[in-house]
Amino acid sequence: MSVIVFVEDWNGSFKKASFEATSYAKRWAKMLDTQVIAVTGNSTSYPELHAYGADYIIQTPLAKTGMGIAEQLGQLCTDAQGVVIAGTALGKTIGPALAALYNGSLSTNTISLPLSTNPTEVKRGSFSSKGIETIALNGNLPIISFVPNSIGILEISGNGETDSQEIAGNDLMEITEVNIASGKVALPEAEAVVSAGRGLKGPENWGMIEELADVLGAATACSKPVSDIGWRPHSEHVGQTGIQVNPNLYIAIGISGAIQHLAGVSASKTIVVVNTDAEAPFFKAADYGIVGDAFEVIPKLVDALRAFKTAS
C-alpha cells in the first residue's frame, strides 16, 4: 500500500515540479494513511526528496522515453493506491501510457489535491481554462497528473529508506538528438513569463523584452501571429493552441488579448498588461494595467525593477 510518485530529473538535478509532485503525493498519502514511494532515475540528492515527503525511494536506471518509463512504473504499482506525475512534457506521455497499460484511471491537467479518496475526486482545468471540471477516478489505479505550479509545495518530511533496482522498459524508438536552450527558463514551468505580441512591430524590438525577462528571471513568450510570422520561435507561442502557462506573474506587452490567447494564460496568478489601446480586451483579464507605449514603458520598468532588486 502506497502512493507512488514519479520524480523526473533534469540534467542530474530535480525539477521544481518534481518536488511539487512529491509534496502532492505526501498530502494524498496522508489522506490515505499510507506511505510515499518515489521512483527516480537519479542516484543522488535523496535528502531533498525526503524533505518533501518521500518515505521510500526506488532508484532505477530509467528508460529514455515516456512509453518505456510508463512500463517500468507500472511494474512498481501492483499494490499502489495512487500515482502522482507532474504534467511536464515527459509526464504527459507517461500518465496516459501508464493508465492504458495497467488499467488505471487518469486525471490530466489536475489543479487540486484530491477532494475525496473513495473514489478519488479532483478538479481539473478544461475548455482551455474556461471551465473547471470535477471528475471521479473509478478505475483500480487512480493516476493524477497535475499542472506544474498549480498546487504549491509543502515540506512534510518522509522517512528515509532507499533501494536500487533494475526494471525493464522498452523505448520502441531511438533518440537521435536532444537540444535544450541553455540558460533560458523553460516556459511550461516558469514562475514568471514576459510575453509580447504584434504591438512590438518587429523582431528587432525584442531586446527590451529579453532584458525585462532577465531582470525577473522570467521565460519569454509571444502571441501566435508573432510566431507565425517568424519573429519568434514556435516554442514561445502561448495560448489555446500553443503552450499553456500558469506562472505567478504574466506580463503581456502589445498583445490585444484575443480569446484564444487568454485561454492559455488566464490561469496565471497575477497578470500585467501594457497596451497603447485603453480598449484592448486584455485589460479585462488583467490585475494591473498600463495604457502606454511599450517602447517608453518597458525600458522604464526594467530600470525600476533593477533598482528594486538592488535595494531588496
Partner 1 sequence: MNTRTKFLWIYYACIVNYIPNHIPFMNILVCISHVPDTTAKINFTADGKTLDPNGIQFVINPYDEFGLTKALHLKEAYGGTITVINVGLAETEPTLRKALAIGGDKAVRINVNPEDAITVAKELKSHIETNSYDLIICGQESIDYNGQQVPAMIAAMLKLPFANACVGLTINNETAVATSEIDGGHATFQAQLPMIIGGKKGIVEEKDLRIPNMRGIMSARTKPLELLEPSVHDGATKSLNFEKPAPKPAVKMIDAANVDELVRLLHEEAKAI
Can you give the binding site for ligand FAD, defined by CB under 6 A? 197-199, 223-226, 239-242, 254-256, 258, 260-261, 264, 274-277, 280, 293-295
If contact means CB under 5 to 8 A according to the sort of partner, which of partner 1, ligand FAD, none does residue 300 touch?
partner 1
Segment near partner 1 (CB under 8 A); pick from 33-41, 55-63, 77-85, 96-104: 96-104
74 vs 239, beta carbon nearer ligand FAD: 239
Instruction: Report the residue from 38, 62, 253, 285 that binds partner 1 according to the rule CB under 8 A.
Output: 285
Query: 103-142: which residues touch partner 1 (CB under 8 A)?
Result: 103-109, 121, 124-139
Residues pairing with 131 in the sheet:
126
36 vs 273, beta carbon nearer partner 1: 273
If contact means CB under 5 to 8 A according to the sort of partner, which of partner 1, ligand FAD, none does residue 305 touch?
partner 1
**What DSSP string describes 227-272?**
HHTTSS-GGGBBSTTSB----SEEEEES----HHHHHHHTT-SEEE
Cβ neighbours of residue 143 closer than 8 Å, sequence gap 6 or more: 82, 83, 84, 85, 95, 98, 99, 104, 105, 106, 107, 137
155 vs 296, beta carbon nearer ligand FAD: 296
Residue 256, interface with partner 1 (CB under 8 A)? no
**Between 50 and 89, how does the x/- string for binding to partner 1 read (CB under 8 A)?**
---------------xxx--x-----------------xx
Helix (H, G, I), strand (E, B) or coil at 139: coil
Identify whether the C-beta of residue 265 lies closer than 8 Å to the C-beta of residue 273: no
Q: Report the distance separating Cα 56 and Cα 54, nearest Å.
A: 6
80 vs 209, beta carbon nearer ligand FAD: 209
40 vs 246, beta carbon nearer ligand FAD: 246
Question: Cell for 106?
Answer: 487518469
Residue 310, interface with partner 1 (CB under 8 A)? no
Query: 139-158: which residues touch partner 1 (CB under 8 A)?
Result: 139
Instruction: Report the residue from 76, 99, 196, 238 that binds partner 1 according to the rule CB under 8 A.
Output: 99
| Residue 9, CB-side half-sphere exposure with 13 Å CA sphere | 20
Q: Report the distance separating Cα 121 and Cα 116, nearest Å.
A: 5
| Residue 192, CB-side half-sphere exposure with 13 Å CA sphere | 12
Identify whether the C-beta of residue 136 lies closer than 8 Å to the C-beta of residue 30: no
Q: Give residue number: closest CB to ligand FAD.
A: 239
For residue 124, give the H/E element and its range. strand 120-126
Instruction: Report the residue from 101, 113, 153, 156 that binds partner 1 according to the rule CB under 8 A.
Output: 101
Residue 259, interface with partner 1 (CB under 8 A)? yes
